[in-house]
Amino acid sequence: MKRNQNRIKNRNTYSMLKEQPVKVSIQGYEGSFHQEAANKFYGGKVNVICCSTFREVVKIAEGKKECDAGIMAIENSIAGSILPNYNLLQKSKLKIIGEIYLQINQNLLVNPGVKLEEIHEVHSHPMAIQQCFDFLDKHHWKIVETEDTALSAKHIHQHHSKHIAAIASRLAAEIYQLNIIAANIHTLKNNYTRFLVLQNAEAVQVTEGADKATINFHTDHSKGSLVKVLTRISEAGINLSKLQSMPIPGSDFKYSFHADLEFDTKDQLAKALEEIKEKTEDLQVLGIYKNGKTNKFDQ
């Protein structure tokens, strides 16, 4: 009887642990798009650790006791790749365990009761402001650039601003109890950011159903050396969905390459990596995970 009671107790403890929110480091403040990405990946059970820089995101995510994972933006469908983050990833103790494609919807937020004609200023991050110029040009507001979209929302909430609006996410509106006075004010509607989900390499487990890998490699830079690597990838039946070159620090215009590989089976990937390794001077597997594009339009 006692043994059965212990089993039930252990199962209940395990169940409670599974329900504990995941601790995730993000760049930005509560209500940021990084938090939206974390919520989407983990199903909303997330406690975010807000960081001012991506370097800090990586450092905290590397500490297994303090944090379970990190979320880091890596590219945008309009602005392109965030090159410094590739270097941070390569030098870190982290592995990619997943990815999220998040549609970036910008909204005009105000305190409850504030009307459109009462707005004198609009505050937000420079990138968000640029994305909304067509809407903003219709009005004669003073535009104020800030360090973060969610922080702008937080400030107008804290100061009970009656004449200032913020451009930020729907999540920021919910967290800071603001009204969306104008929704989806961005000019280009097909605006997605790809976020990587990162975890300390020692804690990473095999991802069931993995069909994508990110690698970094460099060749001897002899004539045709890169083509030989790409040919091996193609002959293996693997789709090269992204190839990003990065200067090798301290070299004379030599480059390493980040590549995203989409595959059907792990044996197919393993064989391809063996063949690629023969044609490279250095090969790093930065993560093997599920392709996030399948959820791209599940907004």
Rounded Cα distance, 129 and 217, in Å? 37
In a domain, 4, yes or no: no
Let me know whether 176 and 218 are in one domain.
no
Look up the pTM and report it: 0.88
- What pLDDT score was predicted for residue 2? 47
Let me know whether 177 and 134 are in one domain.
yes
Let me know whether 69 and 195 are in one domain.
yes
Helix (H, G, I), strand (E, B) or coil at 106: coil
Let me know whether 48 and 112 are in one domain.
no
Let me know whether 78 and 197 are in one domain.
yes
Let me know whether 79 and 198 are in one domain.
yes
CATH of the domain at 263: 3.30.70.260
In a domain, 90, yes or no: yes
Catalogue the long-range contacts made by 134-143 (C-beta closer than 8 Å, 24 or more residues apart): 134/187, 135/108, 135/182, 135/185, 135/186, 135/187, 136/185, 141/165
Let me know whether 197 and 97 are in one domain.
yes
Let me know whether 142 and 81 are in one domain.
no
- What pLDDT score was predicted for residue 19? 64
Let me know whether 144 and 251 are in one domain.
no
In a domain, 5, yes or no: no
In a domain, 2, yes or no: no
Residue-by-residue pLDDT tens, the chain, 299 positions: 545 554 444 444 334 345 678 999 999 999 999 999 999 999 878 999 999 999 999 999 998 788 999 999 999 998 899 999 999 999 999 999 999 999 999 999 999 999 999 999 999 999 999 999 999 999 999 999 999 999 999 999 999 999 999 999 999 999 999 999 999 999 998 899 999 999 999 999 989 999 999 999 999 888 899 999 999 999 999 999 999 999 888 888 889 999 999 999 999 999 999 999 999 999 999 999 999 975 444 44
- What pLDDT score was predicted for residue 250? 81
Let me know whether 51 and 199 are in one domain.
yes
User: In which domain, by residue range, is 241 found?
Assistant: 212-289
In a domain, 86, yes or no: yes
Helix (H, G, I), strand (E, B) or coil at 286: strand
- What pLDDT score was predicted for residue 12? 43
- What pLDDT score was predicted for residue 15? 40
Alpha carbon separation from 166 to 7, 44, 145, 280, 295 (Å, rounded):
53, 24, 10, 49, 29
In a domain, 78, yes or no: yes
Let me know whether 126 and 255 are in one domain.
no
Structure tokens at 8: 């039930």
The total number of structural domains in the chain stands at 3
Number of other CB atoms surrounding residue 11 within 10 Å: 10
CATH of the domain at 129: 3.40.190.10
Let me know whether 196 and 99 are in one domain.
yes
Check if the beta carbon of residue 233 is closer than 8 Å to that of residue 240: yes
